[in-house]
Amino acid sequence: MSQDAGNVPVSADQVRNAISGLVDREKNMLTNLDAVASSIMTAADYLAILKDSAQVGTYKELLLSLGKLSHEVRAHQGVLLNLGQTYQASLEDTDFQALLDRGLSDSLQRAPYRPEDDRRFKEFTEQVGGAGGSADQADGAGDDELGEDEDLREADTGHSLAKTKCPLSMKEVLDLERPVKDHLGYVYEHANIMEYLRGHPNGRKHPCAGVNGLLRASDLKPAEDVLRAKRRRRLAEAMGADANDGASEDSEEVIDV
């Protein structure tokens, strides 16, 4: 992209407006990529429960490609924002595309995509590690409920009760309708914690005894590990029901014969 034939300089405001539009477009792209990745993570739950290793490789490669693309889009956003902050209007033509390409190349050289640092990819490989059975997994080690506990243990910071029950309602976290987690890893029912924080826009004393500091609504985020464990439990229950139905039908057929 360059300035027009009349050699009229592009103002910094025009550049920033154009960049803002590009950044918004790439935000939408990342949202779409996240939706696809979430679908793959759901597939990982099925693969783990079914112990099906046949499709693991395909999904793994797809998730790697998505992770790499998401990393590049985020790097490109950084280059765009930096250009918007540093651009100075000039009578000289500016090759914006060349600037962006060079900036992206430099950014990816400094911080290339590393699968081991990709949270989703790590979760996927951990989740499907037992699909079809693995060499380091003992018989029965792939039990679904153990998988649920493992997810919750992974986020534990030493306060195990906080990872198994809502400190306000004392309900098991897997029974919460809308689990959210604070910056310390405590899990709450969304309605309960928002009621607790109502009327305290600047924060309120943390509800857990012995925890210092304030808790703010901005500290809360969806408890992804709990949501995944809940989803796996539902899938396992559904699979178990299907298996039981099939066993009953087989028994009836034997009796009929």
**182 within 8 A of 171, measured Cβ to Cβ:** no
pLDDT for 136:
38
**pTM more than 0.75:** no
pLDDT for 166:
92
In the chain, the amino acid numbered 107 is S
**What is the CATH number that goes with domain 144-256?**
3.30.40.10
Q: Where in the chain is the domain with CATH 3.30.40.10?
A: 144-256
Q: Could you give the C-alpha distances from 6 to 9, 153, 241, in angstroms and in order?
A: 9, 65, 73
What is the distance between the alpha carbons of residues 164 and 153, in angstroms, rounded to a whole number?
A: 9
Q: Could you give the C-alpha distances from 119 to 26, 63, 67, 124, 149, in angstroms and in order?
A: 20, 11, 9, 9, 18
pLDDT for 41:
83
List per-block mean pLDDT (blocks of 10 residues) for the chain, which spans 257 residues. Answer: 52 81 90 88 78 79 92 93 80 82 93 92 78 38 42 45 80 93 94 95 92 93 86 76 51 40
CA dihedral 100, 103, 104, 110 (to 10 degrees): 180
